[in-house]
Structure 1
């Protein structure tokens, strides 16, 4: 069975989500600030967070979506998550998603976390294209991926439905040849 690789950067460690992360996930996924542009309603209970961890473990067996805990090296505390989903193996593409506790926004953390993930997706998972879907109001998220080399492609009208509100979203992409020539 495949295992989650652990990625270590200067300030962060990305590791598999475990049951010890349930309280953090519940707090993160009930935060109005975090979910504002996430495309997801708040989770209803810690049991939902338990199911999330279990589902990512099950997906590992089938080559499905993966999501890592982002852990700050200095404190050994989880501060967010990142991963990939919407996988098309035939077309060698997927989409990434990420979130971070508000106290850690604006510090360059997410770019540092996503760099090893992108390399993993292009080299180990054989992806040719990685997408990201971002609502126009989420300027900070757009800056993160633009710094990583993603290009905005177009507007997906009323693409996200969250709490009965429809949001447009921009599609961004990064191609393998663009990433590997940069690094």
Structure 2
């Protein structure tokens, strides 16, 4: 069975999400501030967080999506998550997703966290294209992927459904040859 790699950057450790992270996930995914940009409704119980962790483990067994805990090294504290999903092995593509607690926004953390993940997707997972779907009003998230070299391709009209409302999303992508330049 495949295992989650552990990535270490100057300030962060990316590791597998475990049952020890349930309280953090529950807080994160009930935060209106975080979910305003995320494209999902708040979870309604810690049982849902438990199911999320169980699904991450099941997906690992099938070579599916992976979601990493982002841990601040100095404080040894989980501050967010990142990962990839919407995998098409035949077409060698996937999409990334990520979130941080609001007190960590604007510190350059997500770019630092995504860099080793993107390298992993191109080198170890054999991807040729990595996408990111971002609601237009989330300017900070757009800046994160643009700094990493992603290009905006277009607008996906009413692509995200959250709390009964449809939202447009910008589609960004990064190609392996661009990342390796």
Q: Is TM more than 0.5 here?
A: yes
1:173 aligns with 173
1:174 is paired with a residue whose SS is strand
Where do 5+ consecutive residues of structure 2 fail to align? Answer: none
Aligned pairs (5 A) from 1:62-77: 62-77=62-77
Aligned residues: 181
Q: Deviations over 1:65-90 (max 9, x none)?
A: 00000000000000000000000000
Correspondence for 1:91: 91
Q: Distance in 2 between matches of 1:118 and 1:37?
A: 21
Residue 40 of structure 1, CA deviation: 0.2
Give the SS at the match of 1:54.
Answer: helix
Indicate the SS of the match to 2:68.
strand
CA distance in 1, matches of 2:47, 2:172: 33
C-alpha offsets along residues 87-135 of structure 1, whole Å, 9 cap, x if unaligned?
0000000000000000000000000000000000000000000000001
Q: What RMSD in Å do the two structures reach over aligned CA positions? A: 0.3
> SS of 2:81's equivalent?
strand
Residue equivalent to 1:134: 134
Correspondences of 1:22-171 after superposition (within 5 Å): 22-171=22-171
Length-normalised TM-score, structure 1: 0.98
What is the distance in 2 between the residues matched to 1:128 and 1:99? Answer: 24
* 1:16 matched residue in structure 2: 16
- Offset of 1:37 from its aligned partner? 1.6
The TM-score normalised by the length of structure 2 is 1.00
Unaligned runs of 5+ in 1: none
CA distance in 2, matches of 1:50, 1:162: 22
Runs of 4+ in 1 over 3 A off after TM superposition: none
